[in-house]
Structure 1
Amino acid sequence: MRLGLPQWAGTLAVKAAVFITVMCCALAALLGVLVHVSVTNQTVGQARELALSRLEDATAAFEAGDALRRGVAVDPPELPDSLRELAVAGERGTMVAEYRGRPTMWAAGPADGSRALAVEVDYSQQARTIEGLDRAILWSSGLAIGATLLVGAFAVTRVTRRLHATARVARRISGGDLDARVDDPRTKDPTRPQDEVAAVAAALDSMASSLQSKLLAEQRFTADVAHELRTPLTGLHAAAELLPAGRPTELVRDRVAALRTLTEDLLEISRLDTGRERSELDTEPLAALAERVVRASGTETEVVVVRDVVVETDRRRLERVLGNLVANAHKHGRGPVSLTVDGPVVTVRDHGVGYPEYLVAHGPQRFRTEGGAKGHGLGLTIALGQAEVLGARLTFANAADGGAVATLELR
């Protein structure tokens, strides 16, 4: 689930945004606490010095027998108990407490040994100053976090957008589009600063160009070999027809026919590799087409029609796909072989040892064999290529109770 993020966003952008936010909040909290503590200590210190100065003057006046000024009293009932006990014990001290609904700085000291002389100083202005400072810290921290997050998100999304474009091109290349390129402008302008994303894009473009060159060379080689073989094989076929009847002649004709089939398969693969093959669409009842393919194969294949459907497809190419699947099931599997039509899905199944693991995982690969076993030739490769031309999806799997299962999903 992408949680409504735009296409260029992803977990990297989310993680970066969360990291930036957490770091900004931590930094803002640290700075806010430091400023709050520093200013509060300074403000409280100034108020304490003022209160102690007034207490000293009041003590001198009390000892001289002068009248006490306003805000000075002996044992006032509002004096905090802890401060009263400190003064009675012969010490001087200060404390901030609520008095008449407003914050007050109290200063107290000993009066005559058993009583406390107390001075009250209005602390409202200092308290409002600290509260205003705290609000300013919160607002400025919020604005700083928001601005930093926006700038950080802009910078991160520029990187993630480029990474997303590179990943999209990589997926296109893995899907067979070897013309896809990232074309990052940084890789073409040496005056611009190069970063890791540009290095990855340049490496991907270089890899795609190299891979495309090798595949084109392989395709040209396959096509050239197939074309060059056609002429001598035609002459060889004609010569084989002139041989006298007998077992050796049958063997020669059989091998010549196999070579001609292999040459035609190579030519068909070379045409499919070019990517220029186009289907000629027509409407066909799928069940009737499947039965026609089985009859043409000359094999004992059971046709099961669960649900017939009329499909718009290229009849010749579809017959080629199904014919190759049926032929492969009989050649490399064991009977019984069945072809099942269930709507636009056609399944060909045998009861042999199943497909090799590499084929199930990665699809058919030309001429590949494993462990000395007989390979699957070019039939499945051609079936897969023709299915792609049809816009169909051909998958290979092994049944739980044994046997190979090829599933063709027409669209």
Structure 2
Amino acid sequence: MRLALPQWAGTLAVKAAVFITVMCCALAALLGVLVHVSVTNQTVGQARDLALSRLEEATAAFETGDTLGRHASVDPPGLPESLRELALAGDRGTMVAEHRGRPTMWAAGPADGDRALAVEVDYSQSARTIEGLDQAILWSSGLAIGATLLVGAVAVTRVTRRLHATAQVARRISGGDLDARVDDPRTKEPARPQDEVAAVASALDSMAASLQGKLLAEQRFTADVAHELRTPLTGLHAAAELLPAGRPTELVRDRVAALRTLTEDLLEISRLDTGRERVELDTEPLGALTERVVRGSGTDTEVVVVRDARVETDRRRLERVLGNLVANAHSHGRGPVSLTVDGPVVTVRDHGGGFPEYLVAHGPQRFRTEGGSKGHGLGLTIAVGQAEVLGARLVFSNAADGGAVATLTLR
């Protein structure tokens, strides 16, 4: 079973802090051990040399029958047993042990027969020196780790702040704000050293500028084409009206009408793309407005008013949105089609095969249809665009028991 970590544990700042802490602790422990071992060996070596030199002096005095020094004696009671056995075996050695409540460096060697000659050297000062050194190592390591963490946190926070700003701009761009830019100061000064974050910011700004340019060019092309088509289509429509009655004339008029509708839709989309549309607000009763939309559509659509509401909106744009939703339900779905008003929420539902998966996930796309359905995919695109102008939210989903559901939530 995997342990679920909190979300903050995956951030770059936390990972950097953990890495810096672990490395600082490891480095401090390594240096502390090296210094401790080096100083301890030096201190113990000096005490051992002093004890052995005094043992030699005591041995010489013992052999000549002179009086032993104050710290030398034969078989002293505090001599460690292991060192006594070493001396009785004919060897010399040293050992640190507690004696009379304080650390003592012992040096012992053979005396005569089954006795040991021993010298004791006070090791208290050396032990305090080593203990003080260990404390100094701990304090200095703690201060070094704290200072390193502080400096590292400041440096990492600056980097992560810039990364968060870049990610926020990327999200704004994906949401449709093509004017968003990171504008990292480092990218504007060629003489200044460039780091990886500045490179990412520069690449994102370049991508956004290129994408914006291409979209603007596409929008201008669509608007220009639609405008250029209006004049010949007007003439073609007038000429079609002069044709004699008959089946060929009906077909021509039908295709001319479809082409005029497509042109008007393209012009409306191009206006929506500019983002300069302005609403003319007025207070409207939602129930009466939806009934008027259904009557104008000439379709068999059931209107259900669960809870009526008066909303402040642009009547023309709202009628356009609801009209397109109702027309789409009848064109691409199956009956019965219902339009339900529940406060500021309007739902249009049919009982057909439902919306395609791409449309539910990403919204309608121009000139994309599936399943052999007729149309250009512009009706729902216009509905979404007009809903955004109104400040409303339009969501597409599929009912559990079948059918497409479009839900418009007004402010």
Q: Same fold (TM over 0.5)?
A: yes
Q: Who is 2:357 aligned against?
A: 357
Offset, 1:367: 0.4
Give the alignment's TM-score, normalised by structure 1: 0.92
Residue aligned with 1:9, SS: helix
For residues 251 and 374 of structure 1, the distance between their equivalents in structure 2, rounded to whole angstroms, comes to 17
Query: Does 2:185 align with 1:191?
Result: no
Contact 1:280–1:314 (8 Å) recurs in 2: yes
Query: Does 2:134 align with 1:134?
Result: yes
Contact 1:394–1:407 (8 Å) recurs in 2: yes
Contact 1:10–1:160 (8 Å) recurs in 2: no
Residue aligned with 1:76, SS: coil
For residues 54 and 67 of structure 2, the distance between their equivalents in structure 1, rounded to whole angstroms, comes to 14
**TM-aligned CA distance change 1:147 to 1:242, over 3 Å:** same
For residues 5 and 317 of structure 2, the distance between their equivalents in structure 1, rounded to whole angstroms, comes to 42
Query: Does 2:246 align with 1:246?
Result: yes
For residues 298 and 2 of structure 1, the distance between their equivalents in structure 2, rounded to whole angstroms, comes to 60
CA displacement, residues 153-175 of structure 1 (integer Å, 9 cap, x when unaligned): 22222222222222222111111
For residues 328 and 341 of structure 1, the distance between their equivalents in structure 2, rounded to whole angstroms, comes to 18
Residue aligned with 1:8, SS: helix
Contact 1:9–1:160 (8 Å) recurs in 2: no
Contact 2:345–2:410 (8 Å) recurs in 1: yes
**TM-aligned CA distance change 1:339 to 1:81, over 3 Å:** farther
For residues 87 and 390 of structure 2, the distance between their equivalents in structure 1, rounded to whole angstroms, comes to 99
**TM-aligned CA distance change 1:223 to 1:85, over 3 Å:** same
CA displacement, residues 60-116 of structure 1 (integer Å, 9 cap, x when unaligned): 222222233222222222222222222222222222122222211122222223222
Q: Who is 1:58 aligned against?
A: 58
**TM-aligned CA distance change 1:407 to 1:330, over 3 Å:** same
**TM-aligned CA distance change 1:81 to 1:287, over 3 Å:** farther
**TM-aligned CA distance change 1:294 to 1:229, over 3 Å:** same
**TM-aligned CA distance change 1:88 to 1:304, over 3 Å:** farther
For residues 6 and 216 of structure 1, the distance between their equivalents in structure 2, rounded to whole angstroms, comes to 43
Query: Percent identity between the aligned chains?
Result: 91
Contact 1:8–1:161 (8 Å) recurs in 2: no
Offset, 1:194: 1.9
Offset, 1:376: 5.1
Offset, 1:177: 1.3
For residues 184 and 280 of structure 1, the distance between their equivalents in structure 2, rounded to whole angstroms, comes to 39
Runs of 4+ deviating beyond 6 Å: 1-10
Q: Structure 1: where are the runs of 5+ without partners? A: none
**TM-aligned CA distance change 1:309 to 1:98, over 3 Å:** farther
For residues 6 and 166 of structure 1, the distance between their equivalents in structure 2, rounded to whole angstroms, comes to 24
**TM-aligned CA distance change 1:239 to 1:32, over 3 Å:** same
Contact 2:332–2:373 (8 Å) recurs in 1: no
**TM-aligned CA distance change 1:284 to 1:89, over 3 Å:** farther
Offset, 1:146: 1.9
CA displacement, residues 232-255 of structure 1 (integer Å, 9 cap, x when unaligned): 222333333333444333333322
Offset, 1:366: 0.6
CA displacement, residues 275-312 of structure 1 (integer Å, 9 cap, x when unaligned): 11122223333333323322222222223334333333
Q: Structure 2: where are the runs of 5+ without partners? A: none
Offset, 1:350: 1.6
**TM-aligned CA distance change 1:103 to 1:286, over 3 Å:** farther
Contact 1:321–1:383 (8 Å) recurs in 2: yes
Offset, 1:199: 1.8
Offset, 1:8: 13
**TM-aligned CA distance change 1:2 to 1:117, over 3 Å:** closer
Contact 1:8–1:160 (8 Å) recurs in 2: no
Give the alignment's TM-score, normalised by structure 2: 0.92
Q: Who is 2:288 aligned against?
A: 288
